Amino acid sequence: MHEHDVIVVGAGGAGLRAAIAAQEAGADVAIVTKLHPVRSHTGAAEGGINAALRDGDDWTDHAYDTMKGSDYLGDAPAVETLCKDSPKETIQLEHWGMAFSREEDGRVSQRPFGGLSFPRTTYAGAETGHQLLHTMYEQVVKRGVTVYDEWHVMNLAVTDEERPSDRSCHGVVAYDIKTGSVEGFRANDGVILATGGLGQVFDHTTNAVANTGDGVAMAYRAGVPMEDMEFIQFHPTTLPSTGVLISEGVRGEGGILYNDESERFMFEHGYANNDGELASRDVVSRAELTEINEGRGIEDEYVHLDMRHLGEERILDRLENILHLAEDFEGADGLEEPMPVKPGQHYAMGGVETDENGQTCIDGLYAAGECACVSVHGGNRLGGNALPELIVFGRRAGQHAAGDDLGEPQITTGKSDDYEPAEIDSPVPIGAVDPDDGTEPAAADGGAADGDAVLDTAVEAERERVEELLDSEGINHAEVRSEVQETMTANVNVFREEEGLKQALADIRDARERYQDVGVSDPSRTFNTDLIHTMETRNILDIAEALTVGALARNEFRGAHWRKENQIRDDENWLKHTLITWNDGQPELGYKPVILEGEDKTYEPKVRSY
């Protein structure tokens, strides 16, 4: 058994920042991560970090833009914390040596970004995430923080009191990918989940292969609600074969979208008569899919993004990296031919429910970064707002877990007084296939108060699970995973309607039942990725289901969530957060109000038009 004060799960921007903060606050901290830190998907972020740094800009403007962008589903205390702390955190990165782009006067550069009233997106070329990730990893090396890399966290060690808010977390159970051993990691003061995105729930995504939502699924099964899971951002221009992102910059410079009939459909089919290709991400994504669904897609799959008319000189000057991306990942030459693009899953606004200090309703369990929902993005994330979330809330979670006093949070968690229960309308059973088979909940009986005992029990359970998976001769998890991914992309995409959502729930149920027969055919204890992927697929199942339940219930159009049956934002009925609780295998749906009252103003919902 390993023992530390604070255990951070994940080493992307959020996890690294949390670890640094916990260490500065005096804790003995360790990071447990399934990828070596520099392999984390934070490295893929291109655009930049929003921070109100300059004269003429103010954090209150950033907060206003963010609330509006969230379609009034962001919580004001979280949004204001983000916008107030981002400048300090961004400059902190500079003080750690991050290689930002520079202005003539030597100060860090900022650029305009969609939905922002001031050019406050602070950047390092088109590789901001890479620079941020490496800069923070350097600090972790400098401080000698212990890193257990290539250790896959399988489960949390949480007590099993009836109400999740009475439970406490004492550590994690992890699998050493190199040797196959399953070990307990005792956390005396707290566990911080920073496991990143969940794009692998869909079959076409800008996310990495490792973004399987493990932290969200583990917290969910331990009793923490998943919040606002139905809000998924789809990016309109991703390469069809890999999902690699083609930045908005191409359309910003004048790139044009064409269908199979060479029509400039954004205008010719009236999707956005004013903004055309520059309409917001969700509008363009829906337009592309309509074209494809109506038979005007190319090879029935994608549309064309053409930038040839911009001329070689301008393309080389401003969009050079796009040429490389299209060439390397799609074999297309952007100077000679239009580039194929289609919408792809990009970002999860929802996640593990936390307060402004990163804390969940389970004592000692925290979450930060993309896996968390604090909630700053609400119904829709503005570009450039995820990286500041990593550093602002990563730091807060680290400090709080290490014992720093950050004040009383205003956001409530768990089933607090204003929790509103609701019925789940599903055509099939949901949740555990057999909730009474003794595998739920994860931890020991009788709410064992002794942390070591809780951890030991959890370790035993996971060791058994590994043996079972290695012994069984079942089906390949990849079949189950692709069944889920395909139905999610077909039915829970940018277009959502009741019938399709119900179909998705039925397909997920089917996949869940098939997962009961899954087996790992690689018998090896050495670097068994078959086993790891099989465990990840379980997480994908739980997340896909909760996401679809939330989408089916929310009959309105808000932010990135569109419903055919009610294509308007319905503030009267839906100005509230979705909460889905595992409830030991029999999921429950509920809601809690949005907090629109900020420190000294209330953000009144307005029409979101740009």
Q: Which of 566, 547, 545 is nearest to 555 (CA)?
A: 566
Distance CA 50, CA 114 (A): 11
* Residue numbers 48-107 binding ligand FAD by CB under 6 A: 48
Applying the rule CB under 8 A, the residues between 312 and 331 that interact with other proteins are: 325, 328-331
- Picked from ligand FAD, other proteins, none, the partner binding residue 99 (CB below 5 to 8 A depending on kind) is other proteins
- In the window 137-166, what residues touch other proteins (CB under 8 A)? 138-139, 141-142
Rg (C-alpha) for the chain, rounded Å, is 23
Q: Which stretch binds ligand FAD (CB under 6 A): 33-41, 73-81, 320-328, 594-602?
A: 33-41
590 DSSP β-pair partners: 421, 579
Count CA within 13 A, CB hemisphere, residue 62. 30
Q: Does 534 bind ligand FAD (CB under 6 A)?
A: no
Q: How far apart are CA 85 and CA 63, in angstroms?
A: 11
The distance of closest approach from Cβ of residue 531 to other proteins in the complex, given in angstroms and rounded to an integer, is 10
Q: Which does 108 bind (CB under 5 to 8 A by kind): ligand FAD, other proteins, none?
A: other proteins
Please enumerate in sequence order all residues whose Cβ is within 8 A of that of 450, keeping only pairs 6 or more positions apart, or say none.
none
| Nearest residue to 319 via CA among 255, 243, 256 | 255
What is the rounded CA–CA span in Å between residue 253 and residue 116? 18
Closest C-alpha to 124, from 387, 348, 328: 387
Whether 18 contacts 10, CB under 8 Å: no
Choose from other proteins, ligand FAD, none: what does 197 bind? Cβ within 5-8 Å by kind.
ligand FAD
Does a cis peptide bond (omega within 30 degrees of 0) precede residue 375? yes
Of 74 and 297, which has the nearer Cβ to ligand FAD?
74
Residue 235: active-site member: yes
CB of 99 to other proteins, least distance (A): 5
Residue 260's alpha-carbon distances to 290, 296, 338, 342, in angstroms, are 13, 5, 12, 13
Compute the least distance from the CB of residue 590 to other proteins, in Å: 35
Question: Can you tell me which of 301, 522, 597, 599 binds other proteins, judged by CB under 8 A?
Answer: 522
Question: At what angle are helices 498-515 and 529-553 packed, to 10 degrees?
Answer: 150
Amino acid at 121: T
- Draw the binding track, 35-64, toward other proteins (x: CB under 8 A; -: no contact): xx-xxxx-xx--------x-----------
Active-site residue flag, 477: no
Number of residues engaging ligand FAD in binding (CB under 6 A): 43
Alpha carbon of 554 to those of 371, 535, 572: distances in Å?
A: 21, 30, 13
134 binds, among ligand FAD, other proteins, none (CB under 5 to 8 A by kind): other proteins
Partner in contact with 102, chosen from ligand FAD, other proteins, none, beta carbon below 5 to 8 Å by kind: other proteins
CB-nearer residue toward other proteins: 286 or 346: 346
Q: Does 47 bind ligand FAD (CB under 6 A)?
A: yes
Contact partners, residue 146, CB within 8 Å, separation at least 6 = 4, 29, 30, 31
Residue 253: CB minimum distance to ligand FAD, A: 17
| Beta carbons within 10 angstroms of residue 439's beta carbon | 13
Asked whether the bond before 441 is cis by omega within 30 degrees of 0, the reply is yes
Contact with other proteins (CB under 8 A) among 294, 312, 317, 517: 517
In DSSP notation, 454-495 reads HHHHHHHHHHHHHHHHHH---B-HHHHHHHHHHHHHHHSSSS
Looking at residues 205 to 244 of the shown chain, list those that interact with other proteins (rule: CB under 8 A): 208-210, 239-244
Q: Looking only at Cα atoms, what is the longest distance across the chain?
A: 71
- Residues 426-455 within binding reach of ligand FAD (CB under 6 A): none
Instruction: Confirm or reject binding of residue 335 to other proteins (CB under 8 A).
Output: no
Residues 370-389 within binding reach of ligand FAD (CB under 6 A):
370-371, 383-387
Q: Under the criterion CB under 6 A, does residue 592 sit at the interface with ligand FAD?
A: no
Residue 206 interacting with ligand FAD (CB under 6 A): yes
β-sheet bridge partners, residue 185 = 2, 172
**In the set 4, 15, 220, 393, which binds ligand FAD (CB under 6 A)?**
15
**What distance in Å separates the CA atoms of residue 139 and residue 20, rounded to the nearest whole number?**
7
Closest CB to ligand FAD among residues 135, 426: 135
Q: Of the residues 17, 41, 62, 235, which is catalytic?
A: 235
Please state the closest distance from residue 170 (CB atom) to other proteins, in A. Answer: 30
Closest of 372, 391, 457, 42 to residue 192, by C-alpha: 372
C-beta of 130 vs 569, nearer to other proteins: 130
Identify the active-site residue in 41, 120, 186, 251. 251
Q: Please state, in angstroms and rounded to a whole number, the distance separating the CA atoms of residues 226 and 577.
A: 10
516: contact with other proteins by CB under 8 A: no
Binding partner of 194, given other proteins, ligand FAD, none, CB within 5-8 angstroms per partner class: ligand FAD
Residues between 92 and 111 that touch other proteins (CB under 8 A) = 94-97, 99-108
Binder of residue 478, out of other proteins, ligand FAD, none (CB less than 5 to 8 A by kind): other proteins
- Taking CB under 6 A as the rule, does residue 124 contact ligand FAD? no
**Residue of 262, 416, 521, 567 interacting with other proteins (CB under 8 A):** 521
Please identify every residue annotated as catalytic. 235, 251
Residues forming contacts to ligand FAD in the complex (CB under 6 A) are 9-15, 32-35, 40-42, 44-48, 128-129, 152-153, 194-197, 206-207, 210-211, 214, 245, 347, 369-371, 383-387, 390
